[in-house]
Amino acid sequence: MNDIKSFWSSVPENQTNFDQYLERKLQDPEFSKRFAEAARAWDVALQLAALREERGLTQQQVAEMLGTKQQAVARLENPSYMGHSLSMIRRYADALGAIVDVRIIPSEHLASAVAS
């Protein structure tokens, strides 16, 4: 029983078990690399969906603007989809009156670039 109390007293109130797990996993360079790649895809998908919603459009309407199917738009907005092409992201953004800003950041400068 004391072990359980000791464990829980060592966990910061705002840090979940998952947070601790992720913190440990991110120490592995290969996991960290895959996690960063997934985070970038997640970010792109969420930005596309947010832009569409901000414009008050449905996926079907965006699909018609792009000359594609609604399923293709849904796939682009799906955070687990890893096949985003720059040309399709630009077409999507252009159709909705936005631009795409791409930056190439050397890995060693990533922490400072994310903060800016």
Q: What is the pLDDT of residues 35-91, one digit of tens each?
A: 777 666 578 899 999 999 999 999 999 999 999 999 999 999 998 888 889 999 999
In a domain, 1, yes or no: no
**pTM metric for this prediction:** 0.61
In a domain, 7, yes or no: no
Residue scoring higher pLDDT (40 or 98):
98
Residue with tokens 């890995």: 107
Q: Which residues contact 63 (CB under 8 A, 6 or more apart)?
A: 69, 70, 72, 73
In a domain, 10, yes or no: no
Helix (H) / strand (E) containing 23 = helix 17-25
Domain of residue 30 covers 15-115
CATH number at residue 83: 1.10.260.40
Concatenate the DSSP letters of all residues of 39-89 into one string.
HHHHHHHHHHHHHHHHTT--HHHHHHHHTS-HHHHHHHT-TT-----HHHH
In a domain, 97, yes or no: yes
Please count the structural domains in the chain. Answer: 1
In a domain, 6, yes or no: no
Nearest to 50 by CA among 12, 81, 90, 77: 77
As a whole number, the mean pLDDT across the chain is: 82
